[in-house]
Chains A and B, each alone.
Chain A
Amino acid sequence: MSAVDVVAFTATPKRSGSSISQRIWRLAVSSTEFRIGLVVFVLLALAAAIYPEASGIDPTHMNVRARLLEPLFIGDHWSIAHPLGTDQIGRDMLVRCLVGLRYSFLIGVATVALMLAVGCALGMLAGYYGGMVDTLIMRITDAQLSIPMIILAIAVLGVSRPTIPAIILVLGLSSWPVYARVMRSVVMNERGREYVRAAQIMGASNLRIMVGLIAPLVIPPVIFVSVLDIARMMIFESVLGFIGLGVQPPTPTFGNIIADGRKYLLDAWWIATMPGVFLCLTLTSINLMGASLERARHRIFGGLA
């Protein structure tokens, strides 16, 4: 979220019949890039939702006789039952990748929901009240933005047990400042408008104005931007898994499978490579959708690009 974004965000939207968020959505969905992303994402999501149970293969089931099978049609040591091969103790790679995808996506979505909630609430307070509240909240965001969140995450997860709620909490609480900043600048812009002043004159409480009037107007575009952050958080989740601070084995996650496969890289390249391909495909599909939304928002708001 650069300074450019903030400027584009605060620029006066061109008002017309349907709401701004509807117009952003429609413009984004009409682009080829969004549709490609959507198709890839739906296919991957369906596979992740159905295949692990449908195939009846347990992602943690070991089978020493079927160890280190290669992916289909590559080399001469493969089996039709394990399309992407097996790892060093005979666990099915395809099922492990798909189960990893589930964890990765769910953690990503939950994390983004948390950071949206915290960031929007604090940004709203800072933008609406201004003054001391604003200064305090903004200095905290400054400080937090200058520490790489990954250091924070490692520091906390390194000592507390990395359970799923802990991971969501740490990732979510270390990346809300960006949202607080965007919300603040948008809300500051709204604060001076007639409808807000009218509500104040009619005696509406501050809480009611913030939650009932401003929030419905400014939050939907912020949610569109947050799609990109789902992908970013999924990467962070995999990084944590990779350095051993993510969801712990035997639960398969992209990070811990890749960390595992790295030890066998020279003999079995597919163990470390396949989860990365899945992760990368998923992230690309989400990023294509998110970037299309972002671009549509820029166009509607009359900002740059």
Chain B
Amino acid sequence: MEILSFLARRIAQGLVIVFLVSGLIFTLLRVVPGDPVRLMAGGMAPEALINEIATKMGLRDPIPIQFMRYMGHVVRGDLGESFVRPANGASTGGSSFDDSTRGARAKVLDLIGETLPMTLQLAGVAVAMALVISALIGIPGGLAPGRWPDRLAFYVSSVFISLPNFWLGIVLTLLLSVKLGWLPAIGYGGFAYTLLPAFVLAVELSPVLIRTLTGSLASIMQEPFIAVGAVRGLSRRRIIANHALRNASVPLLNLLGVQFSGLLGGVLIVEYIFDYPGLGLLTINAVLQRDFPLIQGIAIVTSAIFVFINIAVDLAATMIDPRLEY
């Protein structure tokens, strides 16, 4: 029962966050200069036509009214249609304004639905890699505070956090893909194409994980229950695996939840570099094309995922450490 009221409360809070994010993005997009209708209709369209289209689409109404109308559709599960993308592929932006070959415009929900799984795959592999890297470097560091594994962890995390993701992506592509031919890099044609972008993301994610793991593990090793474990005759390996790491994983888990939006920012750039057909690439293109409905849809979906992941993280944390309250 307790868990149900926890879920209800968190979901309610989450809805408020999603609503605020939508409002923020919606207002921001309309306040900054730049007319999307100009992009849709093409550069040569007469002013009168642009005004006509804009009025027909409701883009000349006051922002709060536009926002309420939009949210009314969102509640019914309709995220609207892209301004520039047709349902059948190529972008319509820039073509002449009276081009009759332009078909129906793509649904925002479909566009997100096509790209989201790709990005989840990339993010999943990246998080797995980051956890492996952090464990390999962070656990020895946490077990030997002040000695060389600890210092190594400190230096590795300082260097990793200093590698700009786009530059690392370019250099690794040049080395591993072009010169050595070990891994494919650009575009997508199978799972192997995920590895290089995921590694770049993992390098970006791991410094904070390494530091948290090292710090929390070092302090947990000072706890009485670790010393008592040895008295109880447990092997060191068992103490570390079952007791120390289990406790150290809670702050790590919380961190993963918090880092989600950072991961998303990284995904954006990495997908752009590697031309990986995911949500990040879609976002960059949507922003550059002033595709309002698409940007808003992506913002709503990502903030909903953010809320969901943080609820899941809190649930998982209470399962690992029952002392935590909902």
Contact = CB atoms under 8 A, between A and B. Distances in A.
B221 to A, nearest CB: 11
Tell me the dominant secondary structure on chain B's binding face: helix
A305 interface: yes
Interface in B55-88: none
A144 B273 CA distance: 26
Contacts of A159: 32-34, 290
Contacts of B307: 146
A265 B170 contact: yes
B265 interface: yes
Given A2-B208, A147-B24, A151-B299, A280 B215 contact: no
B21 interface: yes
B215 A298 contact: yes
A243 B168 CA distance: 15
A226 interface: no
Given A151-B287, A291-B157, A298-B215, A2 B265 contact: no
A276 B163 CA distance: 8
Contacts of B255: 2, 4
A301 interface: no
B28 to A, nearest CB: 6
B257 to A, nearest CB: 10
A142 B170 contact: no
Contact of A3 (B162, B251, B272): B251
A273 interface: yes
B159 interface: yes
Contact of B155 (A33, A143, A152, A305): A33
B167 A304 contact: no
A262 B272 CA distance: 13
B171 interface: yes
Given A2-B208, A143-B20, A305-B214, A288 B261 contact: no
A276 B218 contact: no
A235 interface: yes
A147 B25 contact: yes
B303 A147 contact: yes
Given A151-B287, A160-B32, A288 B158 contact: yes
A44 to B, nearest CB: 13
Nearest to A298: B215
Contacts of B54: none
Given A2-B212, A155-B295, A291-B154, A149 B265 contact: yes
Nearest to A237: B164
A260 to B, nearest CB: 12
Interface string A264-305: 011001001101100110011011100100010010000011
A33 B219 CA distance: 21
Contact of B164 (A154, A238, A298): A238
B188 interface: no
Tell me the dominant secondary structure on chain A's binding face: helix
Contact of A146 (B174, B178, B214, B303): B303
Nearest to B204: A235
A212 interface: no
A239 B219 CA distance: 36
Contacts of B208: 2
A3 B254 contact: yes
Given A4-B216, A146-B17, A155-B32, A276 B258 contact: no
Nearest to A261: B170
A231 interface: yes
A145 B306 CA distance: 10
B161 A287 contact: yes
A258 interface: yes
B166 A151 contact: no
Nearest to B207: A287
Given A276-B164, A284-B158, A287-B162, A148 B261 contact: yes
Interface in B210-228: 211-212, 214-216, 218-219
Contacts of A140: 20
Contacts of A4: 212, 215-216, 251, 254-255
A242 interface: yes
Contacts of B161: 231, 283, 287
**Residue among A146, A295, A304 having the largest count of chain B Cβ atoms under 10 Å:** A146
Interface in B229-285: 251, 254-255, 258, 261-262, 264-265, 268-269, 272, 283-284
B12 interface: no
Contacts of A33: 151, 154-155, 158
A158 interface: yes
Interface of A: 2-4, 33, 139-140, 142-152, 154-156, 158-160, 231, 235, 238-239, 242-243, 254, 258, 262, 265-266, 269, 272-273, 275-276, 279-280, 283-284, 286-288, 291, 295, 298, 304-305
17 contacts: A2-B208, A2-B212, A2-B255, A2-B258, A3-B254, A4-B212, A148-B268, A152-B28, A155-B29, A158-B290, A231-B162, A243-B284, A258-B170, A280-B163, A283-B161, A291-B158, A304-B219
Name the 9 nearest CB pairs between A and B, nearest first. Answer: A305-B215, A283-B162, A159-B34, A143-B20, A276-B167, A148-B265, A150-B265, A284-B162, A146-B306
Given A156-B32, A159-B33, A276-B167, 19 more contacts: A3-B251, A139-B16, A145-B261, A146-B17, A146-B261, A147-B25, A150-B265, A151-B264, A151-B299, A154-B288, A155-B287, A159-B34, A160-B32, A238-B166, A254-B164, A272-B167, A272-B171, A273-B174, A275-B167
Interface of B: 16-17, 20-21, 24-25, 28-29, 32-34, 145, 151, 154-155, 157-159, 161-168, 170-171, 174, 178, 208, 211-212, 214-216, 218-219, 251, 254-255, 258, 261-262, 264-265, 268-269, 272, 283-284, 287-288, 290, 295, 299, 302-303, 306-307
